[in-house]
């Protein structure tokens, strides 16, 4: 019977049907398979998964690439292997019918089919052979392995992984199910297999039971809504959680804080790519909020926070024709639509004014205020009281200047390895309520406290969801944001909670 997903025990991340195409000389013939996103989807799945605790292992359910026989498929498999290796976890691999030679696949990943022991659980991976008609059958040796595993480990739970689904039967002209499924199911029941996990069928199939054995089919990672499974096993009890990387489009979520290629701190992000990702992952809109200070100043001057010490430098750079503000406005504003809004991320300079020239103030959809730097934190050894006073003064400056959203409240303390002054939660929530500024939930190099947002909700402060994306894989990643809202006591209907 399923147990609590939060119990300690064996914890496995399960990814199926990535169908990655990168270097391979092959074009995926099925557009809904986002084969080009394979590496990004793996990274998104890993970052989502580890927020709920680092798993003990990852199992890959086959069809890692779309055409394992294509020239360059080896390089794609190696890139997937290297990306997954960054997790630092044991990797178990089940060959799929798209992967080409099974021995090559297993060799690249340093794995082999058969018995693996993980935290006292016997994990069986099967490399079922596929014929020219795409049909697969379990071999005599594979069936014998079940009985032998039970004989050698009479008290251990057994989990079986294979590419083709075994149960329930799939009515289709395409042979999804394992050919000798009835024989395999009888062998699973006799061996006391706790759970059978498959891939291959992209829609996935929920957990069902036959003969005391649980059967589940992991949906394809490569197709929206980009799902994977999390298996937790404690003794003979287990839970299987299906996780969707895409947001539920019915929620109407908007990413109110996304960067572009104009950011000095950008990774692989571009405005066009971010818009595509926002649509792919179920958002209702996206707002670009580029650092105004970075648009005015050189990298060197921005990173040394020159606007705190030389407030006139922004106007000086404009007069010298070295700023990029007008170029950003023309290029990014040209993408504006019902789905895309364009704004800026601003902060306070040394004179208590926004890092935004008056002549550039109009024409933006959103202004996002932020505290990235405090002079008190950049020299000497200030007391906690001095830093707290400077922090509140900066926020008062930002809110009084008419911004719409306060970005990543309190993140500056984490960035500077200082304890977060929780005594300022109520004063800052009161300030946001009095000025009508929304509070942003932001997990970018940050771990926001649900208690602060609970105080904001109690005061009627609107909440903005911001990925603060500097890379494409971060756009619209709101799983942790929604969980924080739940922890903060937000109602299920978020219409009256989120920034309109």
Residue 222 near residue 33 (C-beta atoms within 8 A): yes
Beta-strand pair 205-210/158-161: unpaired
Q: pTM of this prediction?
A: 0.94
What pLDDT digit, counting tens, does each position of 298-328 carry? Answer: 999 999 999 999 999 999 999 999 999 999 9
Round to whole Å and give the CA distance between 454 and 480.
Answer: 15
> What are the residues whose beta carbons fall under 8 Å from the beta carbon of 172, sequence distance 6 or more?
none
Answer yes or no: is pLDDT of 53 > 60: yes
* Omega of the bond leading into 168 within 30 degrees of 0 (cis): yes
Torsion of CA 432, 434, 435, 438, to 10 degrees: 30
Residues 6+ apart with CB under 8 A from 376: 382, 386, 387, 390
Question: Tokens 């909670």 identify what position?
Answer: 497
pLDDT of residue 40: 98
pLDDT band at residue 500 using 50, 70 and 90 as cut-offs: confident
Q: How confident is the model at residue 177 (pLDDT cuts 50, 70, 90)?
A: very high
Question: What sections of 171-210 are H helices per DSSP?
Answer: 181-191
206 CB-near residues (< 8 Å, 6+ apart): 216, 242
* Percent of all residues in the chain with a pLDDT value above 70, rounded to a whole number: 98
CATH 3.60.21.10 domain residues, the chain: 10-244
pLDDT confidence bin for 5, thresholds 50/70/90 = very low
* Domain spanning 10-244: CATH superfamily: Metallo-dependent phosphatases (3.60.21.10)
Cα end-to-end distance, the chain, whole Å: 43
Q: How far apart are CA 496 and CA 406, in angstroms?
A: 18
316-341 residues labelled b (16+ CB within 10 A) or e (exposed): ebbeeeebebeebbeebbebeeeebb
Residue 32 reports pLDDT greater than 90:
yes
Helix axes 450-458, 479-487, angle to 10 degrees: 60
What pLDDT is recorded for position 310? 97
Side-chain-side CA neighbours of residue 374 (13 Å): 25
Q: Looking at the predicted structure, is the pLDDT value of residue 131 above 90? A: no
Q: Is a pLDDT exceeding 80 seen at residue 2?
A: no
Name the average pLDDT for the chain: 96
How far is residue 462's CA from residue 432's CA, in Å, rounded to a whole number? 9
Q: What does the pLDDT look like over 73-104, one tens digit per residue?
A: 999 999 999 999 999 999 999 999 999 999 99
Helix pair 450-458, 425-435: axis angle to 10 deg: 40
Distance CA 291, CA 233 (A): 46
Per the CB < 8 A criterion, the answer to whether 364 and 403 are in contact is: no
Phi, psi of 460 (to 5 degrees): 80, 15
Residue 8: per-residue pLDDT: 57
Is the peptide bond between 225 and the residue preceding it cis, with omega within 30 degrees of 0?
yes
- Spatial distance between the Cα atoms of 350 and 477, rounded to a whole number of angstroms: 34
The mean pLDDT of 50-56, rounded to a whole number, is: 93
Largest CA-CA distance found in the chain, in angstroms, rounded: 82
Per-residue pLDDT averaged across 30-45, rounded? 98
Is residue 95 within 8 Å of 63, Cβ to Cβ? no
Instruction: Give the architecture (CATH level 2) of 249-487.
Output: Alpha-Beta Barrel (3.20)
Residue 4: pLDDT above 80?
no
Using 50, 70 and 90 to split pLDDT, how confident is the model at 411?
A: very high
Share of the chain above pLDDT 90, in %: 95
Residues 148-174: pLDDT tens digits?
Answer: 999 999 999 999 999 999 999 999 999
Q: Calculate mean pLDDT across residues 357-377.
A: 97
Q: If pLDDT is split at 50, 70 and 90, which confidence band does 66 have? A: very high
Is pLDDT at 1 greater than 70 in this prediction? no
Residues of the chain with CATH 3.20.20.140: 249-487
| H or E, element range at 122 | strand 121-125
Q: Could you tell me which residues come within 8 angstroms of residue 183 by beta carbon, excluding any fewer than 6 positions away?
A: 138, 143
pLDDT tops 60 at residue 7: no
Strand partners, 254: 285
pLDDT for residue 383 is more than 70 = yes
DSSP output for 216-279: EEPPPTTSTT-EEEEEEEETTEEEEEEEESS--GGG--EEEEE--TT-TT-SS--HHHHHHHHH
Q: From residue 73, how far is each of 25, 26, 63, 76, 232 by CA, in Å? A: 8, 9, 12, 5, 32
C-alpha 440/C-alpha 332 separation (Å) is 22
- Per DSSP, 437 falls in state P
Distances (CA, A) of 334 to 46, 65, 70, 331, 367: 34, 37, 40, 5, 18
6 pLDDT higher than 50: no
pLDDT of residue 236: 82
Task: Quickly tell me which residue has 């071999």 as its tokens.
Answer: 139
């Amino acid at each position: 019977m399923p147990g609590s997903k939060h119990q300690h025990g064996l914890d496995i991340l399960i990814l199926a049907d990535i169908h990655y195409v990168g270097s391979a000389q092959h074009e995926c013939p099925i557009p809904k398979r986002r084969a080009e996103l394979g590496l990004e989807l793996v990274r998104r799945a890993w970052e989502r998964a580890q927020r709920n605790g680092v798993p003990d292992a990852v199992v890959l359910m086959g069809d890692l690439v779309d055409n394992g026989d294509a020239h360059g498929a080896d390089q794609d498999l190696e890139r997937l292997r290297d990306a997954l290796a960054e997790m630092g976890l044991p990797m178990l691999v089940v060959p799929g019918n798209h992967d080409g030679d099974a021995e090559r696949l297993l060799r690249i990943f340093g794995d082999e089919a058969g018995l693996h022991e993980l935290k006292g659980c016997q994990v069986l991976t099967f490399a079922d052979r596929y014929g020219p008609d795409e049909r697969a059958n379990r071999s005599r040796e594979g069936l014998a392995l079940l009985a032998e595993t039970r004989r050698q480990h009479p008290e251990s739970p057994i989990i079986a992984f294979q590419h083709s689904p075994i149960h329930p039967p799939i009515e289709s002209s395409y042979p999804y199910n394992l050919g000798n499924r009835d024989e395999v199911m009888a062998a699973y029941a006799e061996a006391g297999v706790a759970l059978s996990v498959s891939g291959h069928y992209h829609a996935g199939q929920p957990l069902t039971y036959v003969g005391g054995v649980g059967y589940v089919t992991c949906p394809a990672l490569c197709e929206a809504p980009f799902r994977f499974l999390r298996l937790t096993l404690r003794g003979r009890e287990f839970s299987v959680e299906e996780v969707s990387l895409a947001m539920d489009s019915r929620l109407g979520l908007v990413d109110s804080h996304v960067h572009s290629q104009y950011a000095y701190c950008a990774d692989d992000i571009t405005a066009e790519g971010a818009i595509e990702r926002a649509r792919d992952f179920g958002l209702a809109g996206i707002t670009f909020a580029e650092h105004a200070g970075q648009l005015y100043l050189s990298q060197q001057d921005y990173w040394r926070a020159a606007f705190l010490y030389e407030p006139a430098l922004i106007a000086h750079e404009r007069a010298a024709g070295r700023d990029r503000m007008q170029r950003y406005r023309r290029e990014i504003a040209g993408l504006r639509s019902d789905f895309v809004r364009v704004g800026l991320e601003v902060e306070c300079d040394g004179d208590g004014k926004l890092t935004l020239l008056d002549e550039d103030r109009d024409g933006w959809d959103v202004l996002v205020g932020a505290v990235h730097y405090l002079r008190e934190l950049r020299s000497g050894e200030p007391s906690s009281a001095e830093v707290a006073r400077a922090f509140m003064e900066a926020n008062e400056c930002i809110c009084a200047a008419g911004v719409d959203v306060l970005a990543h409240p309190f993140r500056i303390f984490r960035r500077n390895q200082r304890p977060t002054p929780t005594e300022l939660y109520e004063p800052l929530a009161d300030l946001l309520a009095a000025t009508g500024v929304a509070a942003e939930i932001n997990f970018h190099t940050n771990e926001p406290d649900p208690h602060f947002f609970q105080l904001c909700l109690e005061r009627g402060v609107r909440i903005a969801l911001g990925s603060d994306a500097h890379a494409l894989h971060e756009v619209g990643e709101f799983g942790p944001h929604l969980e924080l809202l739940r922890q903060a006591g937000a109602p299920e209907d978020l219409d009256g909670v989120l920034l309109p």
